[in-house]
Amino acid sequence: MSLSGSSVFRHLFLLRCCGFCRLSRSSTARRGLSVAHEVYRALTLTLTVVYLLQECIYAYQERTDMDKLSRVMFLLLCHITSVAKQLVFYLDADRIDCLIATLDDPSYNEMSHQRLLVDASRWASRFVWAYSGCAVVTCTLWIVFPIIYHVQGQTVEFPFWIQIDYTKSSMFVVVLLYSYYVTTLVGIANTTMDAFMATILGQCKTQFTILRIKFETLPTRAKQALRCDSEQNYDEVLMRLFHDCLKHYQKIVDTTSSLQSIFSSAILIQFGIGAWILCMAAYKIVNLSVLSIEFASMILFISCILTELFLYCYYGNEVSTESDRLVTSIYSMEWVGARLGFQRGLLVLLERARRPVRPAAGLVIPLSLQTFLKIIKSSYTFYAVLRQTK
């Protein structure tokens, strides 16, 4: 795998283990392995949808009890966003494979910029482990309370509809493990899918940074090429390097457009529901003791949701900022004295680069830090209204 492609290696490993992403073409040499994994993916999708329906039924039954409703709503909404992303990975698997293959393109893996690519890959790998690990810790803390209550002989009520008498220890363990498995599975997959999309945006940002360096050093690199081969013509070498930069630029734009085309609807759902998730989680946490384990688990959950929203907004903002800086980098090169054809090409590129790449959710909501702040404000507004109507 290339340096750029290795940035999503850990993400794909986790998603395939969870059954949210299909195996790669190279991993399906044995047909039996491919068929088994496809069956596993179908079972995973069925299980998450069934659990979501159970939560919906429970929420409807307890719609008059605000405490019980808030207990299930933040998880229910979170599972809705997860299923939306899971369906994208299931239905658009071919386009996702093409998107991943794009990262192995030679223009994305120039060894002259190895340090930037290695740093981006290492950061992406470390982050996805930490982020998904935080989700696992949160889900693990959530099963502590039912166990304690059951040992103490108290009645335990799980926040989803189930027509089974789980007062007996044997059935209680089965229901507890079922809840823990689905919740943890969704937690790992949901955080990993968010990190995957953010990593693609992060790679686009890194590629824009590399492209800016290539434009700024374009004449210098052309002169260095002439030192190695004096038989070449300077203007021809300059135009060849310029065309390489144009191809690199178009490749980055295509990658960003492809990511937006595939995941735009899922990100829009995430943004639309994200404020409500934070609102319901905040409503629940205000009634908890600060020193309780449940309070700590809710703090971790809210941190995961905030990180989830911030990832899209931050990296979307970084892509827009880097693509906007491209104009300055192009103009800053030593273009004076170059032949007229080269200067005309620069002029056309400058006009195109004046329209920076701006990723958006659903082609409506820009992925920017301003959007993140608006979501936080909306969440607080929902929470204030909810508290007043209690």
Q: Is the pLDDT of residue 25 over 80?
A: no
30 falls in which pLDDT band (50, 70, 90)? low
User: Could you tell me the residue range of the domain that residue 82 belongs to?
Assistant: 3-389
Q: Which residues, other chains included, contact 20 with Cβ-Cβ below 8 Å and sequence gap of 6+? A: 41, 44, 85, 86, 89, 90, 189, 192, 193
pLDDT of residue 230: 67
Residue reference for tokens 């304690």: 148
pLDDT of residue 40: 93
Q: Is the pLDDT of residue 325 over 80?
A: yes
CB of 339 within 8 A of CB of 237?
A: no
345 falls in which pLDDT band (50, 70, 90)? confident
What distance in Å separates the CA atoms of residue 178 and residue 192, rounded to the nearest whole number? 21
What distance in Å separates the CA atoms of residue 280 and residue 379, rounded to the nearest whole number? 9
CB of 120 within 8 A of CB of 202?
A: yes
255 falls in which pLDDT band (50, 70, 90)? very high
DSSP state of 365: E
pLDDT of residue 178: 92
Q: How far is CA 233 from CA 222, 227, 237, 301, 331, in A?
A: 10, 11, 6, 61, 23
316 phi/psi in degrees, rounded to 5: -65, -40
Q: Is the pLDDT of residue 8 over 90?
A: yes
pLDDT of residue 54: 94
Radius of gyration in angstroms for the set of CA atoms belonging to the chain, rounded to a whole number = 25
Reading the block at residue 136, the tokens are 């696992």
Model's pTM, two decimal places? 0.91
Provide the mean pLDDT of the chain: 88
Lowest mean pLDDT among 115-119, 207-211, 216-220: 216-220
The share of the chain scoring above pLDDT 90, in percent, equals: 48
Q: Is the pLDDT of residue 356 over 70?
A: yes
What distance in Å separates the CA atoms of residue 370 and residue 350, rounded to the nearest whole number? 27
Q: How many domains does the chain have?
A: 1
What distance in Å separates the CA atoms of residue 33 and residue 38, rounded to the nearest whole number? 9
Q: Is the dihedral of CA 70, 74, 75, 79 positive or negative?
A: positive
pLDDT of residue 212: 92
The share of the chain scoring above pLDDT 70, in percent, equals: 96
14 burial via Cβ count (<10 Å: 0-12, 13-18, 19+): buried
332 phi/psi in degrees, rounded to 5: -80, -15
Residue reference for tokens 């399906």: 28
390 falls in which pLDDT band (50, 70, 90)? low
Query: Across 93-102, 141-150, 296-305, 340-349, which has the greatest mean pLDDT?
Result: 93-102
Reading the block at residue 130, the tokens are 């930490």
Q: Is the pLDDT of residue 26 over 70?
A: no
Q: How far is CA 299 from CA 151, 240, 269, in A?
A: 26, 54, 23
Span 162-205, pLDDT tens digits: 888 887 778 889 999 999 999 999 999 999 999 999 999 999 99
